[in-house]
Every structure is written in C-alpha cells, then in structure tokens.
Structure 1
C-alpha cells in the first residue's frame, strides 16, 4: 500500500510539473491559479526550456488595449487572443526564443508599480535573464509602455509601443533606451502624433539625443490596428530580432 501511494504521489508531481512547464505552447494561467501574481495571464516558455535548467531566457511582456481587458479567468483571457499579438501568433504555431507573459487587468492601464510586480514575479518563477527584459503593448498597452519606460528606463533593454501615446512625458529620459514605435497614419483612436512627437524629440531635441536613435514606422492609410502587421512581420519588420539584439549593460 505504501509503495502504491508513493507511486501515485510521484505521478501526481510529474503531471503537475508538466502542467506548469509546457514549453513551446501558449498556456492560460487564470487568476488565482498561480501564487505570486495578481492577474490572470498567458504564459509561453520557449522550446528547449526544460532541457538545460541552468540557461536563462529573455522576457517579453505584452500588454493589450482597452478591448482586451477582463477578469483574468480562462474565458476572460481569450480576449487577449482576439488581437494579432504574440499570444495569438504562438497559438497559431509561431515559436519564439523568449519567455512571454501577457497579463490581463480589469482595465488596460497598468500602474508602474504593477508592472514592477509582474517583472518581479517573472524573475522569481521563470529563468529570466535580468539584462534582457522587454516591454511592448498596443493602444492603451502602448501608452503604458511609454509611461513605464520613462519612469524606469534602467530596467528595460528595449521597448516597442504600438498605437500608443508618449506625449506629455519627460521623454528625454529614454535617450539611452532603444525605442521602436509603430502607428497608422489614419488612426482616429490614438493620434499618430502620440508616436511621432516623442520619437522626434528623442532624436532632435533631447540633449544628448537618443543613442541609438529612436525608430518610428508609420503605416500610410492604416487605422488603429497597426499591431497585427507589426507582430506578424507581414509588413516586413522583425521587432523580435531587433528587441533581442539589445541588453542592459552589466
């Protein structure tokens, strides 16, 4: 009887571990199912994550917009799959060489302290390279990306705000942080000048100017959804290789 019990416990631990570390898949982690984080989130661990327990990985945090808010339940998290972002790409078969976390909040405007808490959670639960942490988001998530980066430029290796708004911020604090902003010129939800002006200031007004120079890609005639073509690479831009080419100085 004791041997049978030990066998059953061992099998349970194996199943539990497999459920936790599902490498190469996008896994829903509903609110309340993982200790240490106050949100439901999508988790992706790259292929090979379990093969070398000493290896660390880059971390990308993807933030949705107002249309992707929810209560963090399994059903709620599906709203983050409705947009053409990294979680949906992974579900459709895309592989990435980084850990991805995409949290869901009751509204899309994460505070800077909340983003800090998500980073701390990720670094304590996954094998994260602390010098290679990246933030990207769409619409409201793009606004949060700008805001967090200005407040904490030393914590990020690069940012990709899409259809966001960095106006009104002390943008020159980003003159050493790699920035690549994207926007549609026909966006009537968030003005393209929310990307144009901060990038222009970084490259022409700040003293010193941005190094590396801040980048902006404008899609002529495109409305608010400037992210699907960006994240998929269908517009010809590889934001992932670009992000991963940067790391924090030791």
Structure 2
C-alpha cells in the first residue's frame, strides 16, 4: 500500500469513527446504518470522549430480555423496546451519565449466540476507543443467561459480569473462576428460579478448584419477583454495580 493510500485510508477511518462519536448522549444506531455490524443498538459515549482523543474507555455491553427483543429499527417495535425497562439505556436518557462506553444491541429474539456477542465486542474495539482490558457484560433475564454463557466461553475477554435474574445452571462455571461475578435475583421469581443464580455462585465459591478469585457475589432480594433489575441498575437497592465493575480489569 502506497503512502497516499495509507493517508486516505487513515482519513476514512477517522471520519467513520468521528461520525459515530456523540459524547454524553444516548443515540439510536438502527440496524444496517453502521458499517461493520448487522444489529441495531443504543450507543452512549462518556461526556469527555471527544475531548480526550487519546483516552481509551471501559466498555459495558447491556443485553435485554425477551420483552426487549425487536427488529433493530428506530421504532416502537425496535430499539425503543430496550427503553422499556429500568436499565442503563433508559437511565442515560433520563439524565444519568457514566464514565464508560455503553452499547446495547438488539436482536429479533434475546437468545444471542456467543459468536454474535463476540463479534459485537470486536466491532466495538475496532470502532470505538475501547480499553480491551476493561470490557464488562451485563444483562437481565434471557440477557443474563447469555451473559453467563458468553463468559464461560470467553472468560479471557471480560473484566467482570453482572447477570440479573438469569440462569447459569448447566454451564462449565469453573471456567470463570477468575472473572469477577456479581449476580442478582429475587427470591420470589417464578419466571427464572433464583437457583439459576444461587447454584452457579455457590459452585464458583465452594466447588470449583481453584475457587472463584475474587469470590463470586450474590445478592438476593427477599420477596421480589422477576424484576430484580430495576433496583439493581438504578442503584435504589443500595448497590453500586458500576463502581464495582470498573474496579476490575484484566
């Protein structure tokens, strides 16, 4: 490749990255409007993202549940469904700011394949200034199931996970003995049994050899049903999952 070609290519890449950047806002990126990704997603960049052009930022990927699945368009049947729950995208729309890049992708159903999630992470690393040592995955219900599944298959890529109201049973949980885990569940959840969180955390701490390091955390909300995520993501239950996640890196 000639010097001129390299200069032109560099300019194209800078333009592409700049066209994505809109710091401090939650923006809809509808399906097939961003080269390199086949899904629609919500994008949030920290408030100082444009001002610190050399800085690399932590990445949080949020996965919704069955009710948040959609066609990835900027419509009520698409990305707006991800705004229907109290979770990071809605918190940002309502005025909250975070010191990390947030991507919240949408699929026609919530049962993401692990290769799909991995492709989204690789897309993010290519298109945003991501600190590859500080990538975090969190999800609710079906999205939490995917969080568990991706983590046990790609433990070397994640700095921490927060699965909420999910099911991590039947997975090779010991693969994530060194991935910080903080699981949440309501004890009265009749949609996904609380043992979907209790069992894998217990296995990590008491069965795996080596045992989880740091010890896996579990927070149970007495009498709470399936929606154990609203109080967790908002912090109204007194747990700061964001500071906790960001305290870990690879």
What TM-score results when the alignment is normalised by the length of structure 2?
Answer: 0.92
Find the aligned partners of 2:217 and 2:132 in 1 and give their Cα distance: 24
Give the aligned CA root-mean-square deviation in angstroms.
1.3
Q: Which residue of structure 1 aligns with residue 201 of structure 2?
A: 199
Q: Closer, same or farther in 2 for the Cα pair 1:192/1:141, shift >3 Å?
A: same
Q: Which residue of structure 1 aligns with residue 54 of structure 2?
A: 54
Deviation for aligned residue 1:169: 0.6
Find the aligned partners of 1:195 and 1:16 in 2 and give their Cα distance: 41
Q: 1:129 aligns with which of 109, 127, 131?
A: 131
Unaligned runs of 5+ in 1: 1-14
Q: Which residue of structure 2 aligns with residue 23 of structure 1?
A: 23
Q: Deviations over 1:217-237 (max 9, x none)?
A: 000000000001000000000
Structure 2 SS opposite 1:79: helix
Q: Which residue of structure 1 aligns with residue 34 of structure 2?
A: 34
Find the aligned partners of 2:16 and 2:54 in 1 and give their Cα distance: 21
Unaligned runs of 5+ in 2: 1-14
Report the number of matched residues.
234
Find the aligned partners of 2:233 and 2:128 in 1 and give their Cα distance: 24
Deviation for aligned residue 1:57: 0.1
Q: Deviations over 1:141-181 (max 9, x none)?
A: 00000000011111100000000000001111111110000
Deviation for aligned residue 1:20: 2.8
Q: Closer, same or farther in 2 for the Cα pair 1:135/1:16, shift >3 Å?
A: closer
Find the aligned partners of 2:91 and 2:19 in 1 and give their Cα distance: 21
Structure 1 SS opposite 2:43: strand
Q: Which residue of structure 2 aligns with residue 173 of structure 1?
A: 175
Q: Deviations over 1:56-106 (max 9, x none)?
A: 000000000000000000011000000000000000000000000000000
Q: Closer, same or farther in 2 for the Cα pair 1:17/1:152, shift >3 Å?
A: closer
Find the aligned partners of 1:106 and 1:144 in 2 and give their Cα distance: 15
Q: Deviations over 1:112-147 (max 9, x none)?
A: 100110001101110000000000000000000000
Q: Which residue of structure 2 aligns with residue 67 of structure 1?
A: 67
The ranges of structure 1 where at least 4 consecutive aligned residues each deviate by more than 3 angstroms after the TM superposition are: 15-19
Whichever of the two has the greater Rg, that structure is 1
Find the aligned partners of 1:222 and 1:19 in 2 and give their Cα distance: 43
Find the aligned partners of 2:163 and 2:222 in 1 and give their Cα distance: 18
Q: Which residue of structure 2 aligns with residue 223 of structure 1?
A: 225
Q: Which residue of structure 2 aligns with residue 151 of structure 1?
A: 153
